[in-house]
Structure formats: C-alpha cells, structure tokens
Amino acid sequence: MQKKAFLQLLILALVPFIMVLGNSMLIPVLPQAQKSMGISRLQVGLLITLFSLPAGLTIPLAGFLADRLGRKKVLIPALILYGAGGLIAGLAASLIKKPYLLVLAGRIVQGAGAAGTAPVAMALVGDIFTSNERSKALGMLESANGLGKVVSPIAGALAGLVSWYLPFYIFPALTLPVAAAIAFFVPEPGKNNNNQKNLSSYWATLKAIWQQKGMALTTAFAAGAASLLVLFGLLFLLSDRLEETFAVNGLRKGFYIALPVLVMAVTSYTSGYILQKKIQLTKGAVICGLLLAAAGIGALYFFDHRLLPSLLTASLTGMGTGITLPALNTLVTSSVAPQERGMISALYGGVRFLGVAAGPPIFARLMEAGQAAPSLGGGLMLLTAALLVLFFMKRHILLPPSPSPA
C-alpha cells in the first residue's frame, strides 16, 4: 500500500474511532451527570438511548444519500453534525441551570450525525481500495473501532476528573479536524450511476439485490449482529462479575474490561491483512471466528469464580469476533457494485448498531435466568450464526450482482 493511500486510510480509520466515543466515553460520567442535573437513573440513561436510536433509524437514509450524492458529501456534514451535537450538549451543561432537555437535544443531533459516519467511511474505503487491499483496509477500520472501544471508557473517566460534561467538548475537537482532513486529502471516487436515482428506484435496486443475494446478505447481517450482541453482552456480564465476584473497581476494572476488546482490535487488523492475500478464505474465516467466540463465552461458565481464566476466555471471544468482523465487512462490501455499496454498508451498519444495543439488556435477562444461561445463550447464538453461514452463504456473494434497475 502506497504512503498516500495509507494516509487516506488512516484518516478514514479515525471516523469509526470517533463514532465509538459517542456512547462509551460518557458511561463513566453518567453518575456525575445524574447528580449534577438532579435527574433519575432512567433519565440519565436516555443520554445513551437517544444517541443510539436516531443513529440506527437514519443509517439507511445516510446510505441512500451517500450513493446518490457521493460519500464525502454525506460523511463530512455528518461529522460536523456529530460535533455540533456535542457542542450543544456541552454548552447547555456549562451555561444553563437546568440543562437536561437541551443536553438530550444535543445527543439526538449527535446520533443523527453518527448515522453518516462509520458506515459511509466503510463504503468509501470499499470504493478506494481494490479487492486485494480491501480486506486489510477494512480490517484497519475494524481495529480503529475496537481501539475506540478500548480507549473511550478510560478517556471518559479521565475527562470526568475535570467535569462530567467535558466529554461533550471533546467531540467537536475531534470531528472538525477529521472532517477537514477528509475534505482535503481523501478522494471522492468517480461519480456513480445512481446520482439521479429517486427513492423509489433506490428501493427497486435494493429489492433486485435482495432477490439475487438476499439469503447470503441476511446471513452476513445476522452473523455481524450476533457477534457484536454477544461481545457487548459479555462485556456487560464481565463488568458485573468483576465488581460483584472479584471486588475489582475503578480504573483497574476498566482495564480488565478493555482486554477482550483490545484482543479483538489486534486480531481484526491481523485477520484483515491475511484475508487481503487469501480472499478465498473469507467465508471460512467467518465460521472459524464465530466458533472461536462461541467457545470463549461457553468456557466462561466453567471459570466464573476465577479471575485470570475468566479474562482469558473473554479474550477468546474477543479474538473470535476480531476474525469474524473483517471477513464479514469484506463479504458485504464486495457483494455489490460500487454505486450500490453505500446502501448495503449502511444497512449492515444499522444492523450491527442494533446488535450492540441489544447485547446488555439480553444478557441482563440471561443473568437473571441462572448462572449458566449467559454462556449457553451466547454460545447458542454464535453457533446458530455459524451454521447459517455454512449453509446459506455461498461463495458467489463475493461477486457483484448483475446490473440493477435504472
């Protein structure tokens, strides 16, 4: 990969890194926010919910606009909107006596901006890099996403030492320089054939894609959602056990929770590099990753009262997820023509987002059902996903479908 291309990839990798900060960096300061604003636990939880909900709902629209208008014409305004939402929330918290409603409004704006960030960046990487380099490039994006998950709780805790609302100001401080770098250093691929498409033709194109590859794409989406659901459910479970079983708190607890995600990030980059040279192994990598992640969470049941083995088995799930996700990214972005990549990447990003959101509440219910339920439930989800990939994801998913309707 040439230096210029590597610089472009590095800039685009900052996009998923920043998006991950949107929720994770606030989690350590939520108790402070609750006390400062005099609100309930449910109300402070809406600071997370009202970021995630608009992001998930508007991701398909961002994909449509990215295909119609161009990647950069969506990505750059989305980053600015993301930063503006943080600025609204930060100024409200700094200057207004009862800032809660305006802080919520800022979070909604941030969520809407987040929809046009990482999925569109993924589509842009798919456009810029050839099939041989695409796996490595997408693996780097996945690694940046994982690194953000590792760094953000620590960064949030450190910012909270100054003020609970300082993280809101960090968002525009990061997004504006990245938006400028994309504008000046990242190319916009040649205009696609969809620029004149309206919404009805968008749905017609999507229908045509699904008629040809619906089962394979649905399987890929389900595998991605299941991987992230189990990973974030596991982190939720691990957080509870560290505190309740092992009496681990504070920064030490944060580092322990970050370990499986760090393993995932390193594995994502490595597997992306390998798949760059052996793209024919992509489907097998998805299956192996899902099975490895299932083995990790399944084994956690046997070590639930021993700290080091618990961390190692959780890291095994992180490793499996790190193998699965870059392979799925390659399959999804390579399955359609460039002019249709934005819509498919956006839908895939939305489904992944829902998987992350669903993990903690589902695992909370499983934890209530019994000690073995989280390991069995998570393992069964991943095994089911692996079987679906084995039987329903054919190798032809790697080839773009025949021309779609005009």
Neighbouring C-beta atoms of residue 362, cutoff 10 Å: 20
Say which range, 109-123, 274-288, 350-364, has the weakest mean pLDDT: 350-364
Summarised one tens digit per residue, pLDDT across range 271-311 is 877 887 777 788 899 999 999 999 999 998 888 788 999 99
Q: What is the mean pLDDT of residues 15-39?
A: 82
Do 224 and 350 form a contact (C-beta atoms < 8 A)? Answer: no
pTM: 0.73
On whether the CB atoms of residues 20 and 142 are closer than 8 A, the answer is no
At 131, the pLDDT band (50, 70, 90 cuts) reads low
- What are the pLDDT digits (tens) for 133-158? 777 787 788 778 778 877 887 887 78
Q: What is the pLDDT of residue 193?
A: 47
What does the buried/exposed string (b/e) look like for 93-128 if buried means 16 or more CB atoms within 10 Å of the residue's CB? beeeeebbebbbbbbbbbbbbbbbbbbbbbbbbbbb
For residues 232 and 121, the model is more confident at 121
- Map out the domains of the chain with their CATH numbers: 1-130+158-184 (1.20.1250.20), 196-400 (1.20.1250.20)
